[in-house]
Amino acid sequence: MGKRAENIEGIKSTEYRTRTELRNLIVYEFDSIKKQMPYELIIREKDSVLIYDYKNKTDSTKNMSFRYLKHNGNLYFGPDEFGISIKNEFQTDFKFDQYNLTEEMIDGMGALLFNRLYGVLGFDNGWEKHFYYLTEQNINEIKLPILYRETE
């Protein structure tokens, strides 16, 4: 069996590629803003996976982590697996693909917008709340909420 990279002599886990950026989380309930919170996004690349850790600057119980598997293009949030359902669903400077659960479940999460370079733009938690991670640069350019669809 092979060794984990951080256990191989001369290679430290801190030598993996890491990038840190700031994000503002905006939480919508239907079409109204409910909360805004500062986050730090840490993107780590390890072998066949990209890890997106969203760290809440004031409350660590609100941290979120997503994993992107390079070999199949699927995204994981906790135990839930998401696959691409619509390519280039939302476009800014980045092209965001829409992901949905690979196996439908009662009260499961809704759609998720993701781009490998940017990370998660937004997702529907399945309970009428939408979460959007915006940068200082795009906060005024993107008309929110993106995922809210009025039913008539």
Distance CA 66, CA 39 (A): 14
**% of the chain beyond a pLDDT of 70:** 86
Report yes or no: 142 and 134 within 8 Å, Cβ to Cβ: yes
Q: How far apart are the first and last CA of the chain?
A: 58
Phi-psi region of 114 (alpha: psi -120 to 50; beta: other; left: phi over 0): beta
Report yes or no: 28 and 37 within 8 Å, Cβ to Cβ: no
pLDDT tens digits, residue range 75-104? 999 999 999 999 998 988 899 999 999 998
* Residue 6 in this model has a pLDDT that exceeds 60: no
Distance CA 21, CA 40 (A): 6
Distance CA 53, CA 135 (A): 15
Does the reported pTM lie above 0.85? no
